[in-house]
Amino acid sequence: MSLGNKIKETVYKAFIYDGWEVIDNLEDVISRAEVISFDIFDTLVKRNVQEPRQVHQIVEQEFCRQTGIRIPEYVNHRVDSEEKARKCSAKEEIYMDDIFSLLPGFPDEWKRRLQELEKEIEIKISTPNLKIKAVYDKVLKAGKKIIITSDMYLDQETVRQILCKCGYDGFEKLYLSSSFGLCKAKGSIYEVIKRDYPHERILHIGDHIRSDYFVPRKRGIDAILINRNLCSLRFWSQKGKYVTDQLLYQRMYAFLNNHTDGNNRDAMSIGYEILGPMLWGYCRWLYEKIRVDKIDKVFFLSREGRILQAAFNSLYPTCDVKQTYLHVSRQALVIPMLIDAANFDEMVDTFRLFSHVPFVKIIPTLCSFDFDIFDNELSDIGVDSESRIDALSSEKKEQLYSIVIRLGRDSFAQQKACIVKYLNQNNFEGNIAIVDIGWSGSMQQALQKYVSDKDTKLHGYYLGVRNVKPDEYYEQLSREGYLFDCKKNENFNLMTRFTAGIIEMLFLNTAGSVLKYDTKGESVVPILSEPEYIGEESDFIVTVQTAALEFLNIVREDEVLREEQEVPADIIMSGYSQFAVYPTLSTLRIFNKFCFLNGTIGNILPERGLLYYAAHLGKLNRDFMESSCKIFFLKKIFKIKFPYYDFLKVLLYKWNRKKIS
């Protein structure tokens, strides 16, 4: 920012009267005036763009979409034409016709269509300024006379449509510079207002320091200057880093900022700014996949599938593809297959799906064994439950394998039969899709084995897909990821991998996980575990997801965003990056009490501090490896501002090289 602009900004801030302060002190505002004048743009009405130039970019894109004609220099031509029109005009204000008549080399038919498009876009991207709308409504309710005063080249009909769309009615007069040929900047339109209301005290509210504050006060009209640049977002920055579509990012930022009042609690901000955009981008992608692949039935897998299904139905209520919410879990689907494990290594591969470094103590929880019986069996072979499974001697491994198969054989077989029946009763066959948050595809692998005897084509559509085994292991799986997969966006893979506990919690259905299945009459029903989250933690997740669905309801009504064919993942992950990948200490404090289920239940944040771990390095290594959110783990211990994500990337790279060598 130049020195001159910095000085202007400093002066501007000195006179700003924040929107919420206006509301809090409304009685004083009303009592000193009989007529309240409101500016329009950036006061009563916000545009879902960060700057006016972006309106012309949207017009250019829409013109190309409708006609197939590209005008790559349109934005510059449009800006230049407006500047020329103002210089050449003898009037204080110009009209749209003046601007478009000066577009160089454009056929008249193009000019007419571009002008109409600009009016349409101005209406579509307009939204009420929530803070000032509250002021307006209270002034209207108080019975004060309301007038609207604005410098704008748009015609009266277009401006009235904008005001109507944004819910502004009940005003007496509209003083538009393009109608009067007079403007606020010169002060002449304020003289007209004073002649129309000669015996009444007038108060003007606007956002421009000269036109809305100094000029009216010089003309004897009281004025309040509001902040047009107020940021109400916690996790989005004005300029997106490393995004491919900067225009769409800035439109998203403006849209989010314009539709929140800035008073959101933690859960509401996270739902509105983080989960909502993720659901929006993913569901648009999912809808297109279902259409292209001609899917017959969609199965939303528990538990993350519950919010995915709610989001999909919110955005596409008329979609006629049959949907089912399927109660499954990795534990319920994969553990019964241990009966087919031919040796110790195959058994351990199963346990690694639940813990990267599996310890013996996770076995009874995953396999639903009686803890006392299992401990007695361990004692007989001289194995400690705190031992790493893959660190046991060859003899102990074989003995442990025998124990698991002997204790679980009957239940594994019974559960396999229940699962097959449960899938049959839900018509799990045909050209079908399974929808889930994703990652390594273990549930899709299992489901495919359960229906291997049927003519079933199984498509997996996930938030993200990663390979934890050699690529050839996944060759038979038809699976794709919106944010990332093995062919794209490795950065997003690592972002979610190092913050798995957080992202999975955002999507979680607070009902318990499926432990197993049981028969009830002729049907098979899922048996759920006790919820990990109760009380405040459960309420927090529900609030996050409710706010996310409210975001979808808002974005569904936005005509411009609704027409976007694709929402790039890099835009969606910008907010998540500031929230979870580069978190602040205040973000960490939100999750002090939260736990995470991954074979066993543990806290998302470490319970110990730096001094303890400095004296117990073995414990540090173990807790870090078991952590479901490694970035949060490091941030909580060290507390300093540091690129923990980038550090973990380097660490993983070195670890992988060492493993290969």
pLDDT in tens, 347-381: 888 887 777 667 888 888 888 899 999 999 889 89
Statement: residue 7 has pLDDT above 60: no
| Token duo for residue 367 | 């396999």
Q: What's the pLDDT tens digit per position in 458-508?
A: 999 999 998 877 778 788 888 999 999 888 889 999 999 999 889 988 998
* Res 418: pLDDT: 93
Phi and psi (nearest 5°) for 578?
-70, -25
Phi, psi for residue 195 in degrees, rounded to 5: -70, -35
Range in 14-28, 207-221, 408-422 the model is least confident about: 14-28
pLDDT, averaged across the chain: 87
- CA–chain centroid gap for 248, Å, is 14
Q: Which helix (H) or strand (E) holds 483?
A: strand 478-484
What does the pLDDT read at residue 436? Answer: 95
Helix (H, G, I), strand (E, B) or coil at 647: helix
- Residue 23 reports pLDDT greater than 60: no
Q: Which residues contact 211 (CB under 8 A, 6 or more apart)?
A: 39, 151, 183, 184, 185
Would you state the pLDDT for residue 20?
45
Asked if residue 133 has pLDDT above 50, the reply is: yes
Task: Give me the pLDDT at residue 216, please.
Answer: 93
Choice between 389 and 600, residue whose per-residue pLDDT is larger: 389
Checking if the pLDDT of 148 tops 90, the result is: yes
CA distance readout (Å), 648 to 455, 508, 635? 44, 26, 12
Quick one: tokens of 612? 């303890």
Write out pLDDT tens, residues 304-344: 999 999 999 999 999 999 999 999 998 899 889 888 888 88
Rama region for 535: left / alpha / beta (φ>0; ψ in -120 to 50; rest) = left
pLDDT band at 596 (very low <50, low <70, confident <90, very high): low
| Residue type at position 625 | M
Letter for the amino acid at 312?
F
CB-CB contact of 506 with 436 (8 Å): no
The Cα–Cα gap between 22 and 38 comes to 13
Distance CA 370, CA 496 (A): 34
pLDDT given at position 75? 92
Q: Is 569 helix (H, G, I), strand (E, B) or coil?
A: helix
Which of the 8 DSSP states describes residue 236? -
Q: What is the largest CA-CA distance in the chain?
A: 101
- Using the 8-state DSSP alphabet, how is residue 275 labeled? I
Query: Tokens representing 418?
Result: 């229940």
Separation CA 466–CA 317 (nearest Å): 31
Among 431, 378, 368, which residue's Cα sits nearest to residue 403? 378
Query: Is the predicted pLDDT of residue 90 greater than 50, yes or no?
Result: yes
Mean pLDDT of 107-127: 93
Tokens of 244: 């491919």
Share of the chain above pLDDT 70, in %: 92
CA–CA distance, 243 with 605 (Å, rounded to integer): 30
- How much of the chain exceeds pLDDT 90, in percent? 47
Q: What is the mean pLDDT of residues 141-159?
A: 92
How many angstroms separate the CA atoms of 177 and 170, rounded? 20
- CA distances to 26, 127, 130, 143 from 167, rounded to whole Å, are 20, 9, 11, 17
Predicted pLDDT of residue 241? 76
Question: Do the strands 145-150 and 222-225 form a parallel or antiparallel pair, or are they unpaired?
Answer: unpaired
Nearest to 94 by CA among 195, 165, 172, 177: 177
Tell me, what DSSP letter sits at residue 529?
P
- pTM equals 0.85
* Alpha-carbon distances, residue 634 vs 69, 159, 315, 643 (angstroms): 53, 53, 38, 10
Note the pLDDT tens digit of each residue in 227-265. 877 788 889 988 877 888 888 888 889 899 888 876 668
Dihedral of CA atoms 298, 303, 304, 309 in degrees, nearest 10, equals 40
Helix (H) or strand (E) holding 477: none
Q: What is the pLDDT of residue 14?
A: 53
User: Higher model confidence: residue 596 or residue 659?
Assistant: 596
287 close to 312: Cβ distance less than 8 angstroms: yes
Kindly report, residue by residue over 393-430, the tens digit of the pLDDT: 989 889 988 998 999 999 999 999 999 999 999 999 99
- The set of residues, in sequence order, having a beta carbon less than 8 Å from that of 96 and lying 6+ positions away, is 115, 118, 119, 153, 154, 155, 178
Of the candidates 188, 178, 16, the residue with the CA atom closest to the CA atom of residue 96: 178
State phi, psi for 105 to the nearest 5 degrees: 75, 15
Tell whether the torsion through CA atoms of 616, 619, 625 and 629 is positive or negative: negative
pLDDT at 568 (0 to 100): 87
Beta bridge partners of 464: 438, 484
pLDDT at 599 over 50: no
- Report whether the peptide linkage leading into residue 303 is cis, meaning its omega lies within 30 degrees of zero: yes
